[in-house]
Structure 1
Amino acid sequence: MQPQKTALITGASRGIGRAIAEELGKDHHIYAGASKDASQIVDKLPSAEPFEVDLTDTEALIRAAREIAQLDVLVLAAGVLHKAPFTELTDAQWRESLEVNVMAPVTLTRELLPALRRSSGLIITINSGAGLHGVEDNSAYCASKFALRGFTESLQEEEAGKVRVTSLHPGRTDTDMLAGDDGRPKMDAVNVAKAARLAVDAGPGAVVEFMRVRPARI
């Protein structure tokens, strides 16, 4: 019997990350990434364990990643959004946006790349429509997502033939991040999880490099 495949998912305690953990948890052992109390998702999955770490603490992130020797899928789903006009955003909000949305994915990818190369694995970065075009009152978020897209696309070129890399760009999704907004249509996070599943199931002989999924126009 082949060993069960494994997936590390950041932001697995809620929203898109949680939906992806529940989807991939059907046939993967899940490392459930959360800043605290990952038990709420771990306890609901057939095979899972917590990956509890503050994504802004680089040294702690490195230590936690080095505990993982075998990995097939890395899903970088954690993110923060500070919604405000540019003139009202603080330096601290800019730093957190870049640390969580860009630097944490970079650090995790660097540390886990050897394991992913051994398994001919897959990296999925959860980006956004904000990684494709500017959005009013989202300057820090857009800047971080543009940076994440550049990182992902460069990684696709460098790791071609060794690790598959997917840039997944969900549209408006019904999560805490968009709670209390203007009421425009949103889709369920399950729809994004299904898109992530497509990327997982496409391999190992093919790679889905880019996906844009958005609410249906009714």
Structure 2
Amino acid sequence: MQLEADRAPDEQRVALITGAGRGLGAAIARELAPDHRLLLGARTPAGLESILAELPGATGWPVELTDYAAVAAATGPIDRLDVLVHNAGIADLGTIAESSVRQWRETLEANLIAVAELTRLLLPALRAAGGHVVLVNSGAGLRANAGWASYAASKFGLRAFGDALRLEEPSLRVTSVHPGRIDTDMQRAIVAGEGRAYEPDQFLRPETVARAIRTAIDTPRDAHPTEIVLRPW
């Protein structure tokens, strides 16, 4: 097993970030870019054009995460991975009375099942590096509010997945990050659906959450940052 101590002094760490085309994912990419070789994920190449132009040293990794044959093909060439940041996800909100089987399936598929499968496929590469898995969860992974049932269920499940992975893979570090609402395009859509005016100052800045993730990744190996909870001030 190749651990951090086995890495050449000038060898860059490798990080894969899903949902990296904009918002929090792009902020995480900017935070890690100075000293990581980045693989930046999105559904399509077009979704990565802007961030790749900004970070020319990064490599695009466009794949639909719920297309498991495509994910298996895309992960095949990755033989060592120091950091895996699961940031991609969806928020299709509504009351239980208004929900559908399709909504529940798509939410659980995107926010939980795809995460589990991508992690499973990358375990050999993560083990080879003594890697770090970062799960971008939510405050909804700690408590469920009215109108958020399917989303919260997916995030509660994501937390359970992280807890199990941490115990099953003792050579890896696994951090669940539970931010409150973040100022992103997704948040704008959520607030519009709530029928409220959008006030950016009410929400966390993506850069703030990205910095917290960076701090977890940089924590010395004698400590295991298992959970980070952030709330807007």
Larger radius of gyration: 2
Confirm or deny: 8 A CA contact 1:75 1:126 kept in the other structure: yes
Kindly indicate whether residue 80 of structure 2 is the aligned counterpart of residue 70 of structure 1.
Answer: yes
Kindly indicate whether residue 186 of structure 2 is the aligned counterpart of residue 177 of structure 1.
Answer: yes
Taking the aligned partners of 1:158 and 1:46, their CA distance within structure 2 comes to 36
Tell me the secondary structure at the aligned position of residue 34 of structure 2: coil
Q: Give deviations 1:190-218, integer Å, cap 9, x for gaps.
A: 111011001110033322100001111xx
Structure 2 residue corresponding to 1:32, chosen from 14, 36, 40: 40
**How does 1:171-210 map onto structure 2 within 5 Å?**
171-180=180-189, 181=191, 182=196, 183=198, 185-210=202-227
Structure 1 residue corresponding to 2:91, chosen from 53, 70, 81: 81
The residue identity in structure 1 corresponding to 2:181 is: R
The residue identity in structure 2 corresponding to 1:19 is: A
The residue identity in structure 2 corresponding to 1:140 is: S
| TM-score, reference length from structure 2 | 0.88
Confirm or deny: 8 A CA contact 2:84 2:133 kept in the other structure: yes
Q: Give deviations 1:93-147, integer Å, cap 9, x for gaps.
A: 2111111100111011111111111111100000000000012211110010000
| TM-score, reference length from structure 1 | 0.94
Most deviating of 180-189 and 168-177: 180-189
Structure 1 residue corresponding to 2:156, chosen from 121, 124, 146: 146
Higher helix residue share = 2
| Dislocated runs of 4+, deviation >3 Å | none
Once the two structures are aligned, what percentage of the paired residues are identical?
44
The two structures, once aligned, show a CA RMSD in angstroms of 1.3
Q: Give deviations 1:54-94, integer Å, cap 9, x for gaps.
A: 11111111111112122100000001001111222222221
Taking the aligned partners of 1:179 and 1:92, their CA distance within structure 2 comes to 23
Taking the aligned partners of 2:185 and 2:100, their CA distance within structure 1 comes to 22
Length, aligned pairs only: 215
Structure 2 residue corresponding to 1:100, chosen from 98, 102, 110: 110
Most deviating of 80-89 and 181-190: 181-190
Confirm or deny: 8 A CA contact 2:182 2:203 kept in the other structure: yes
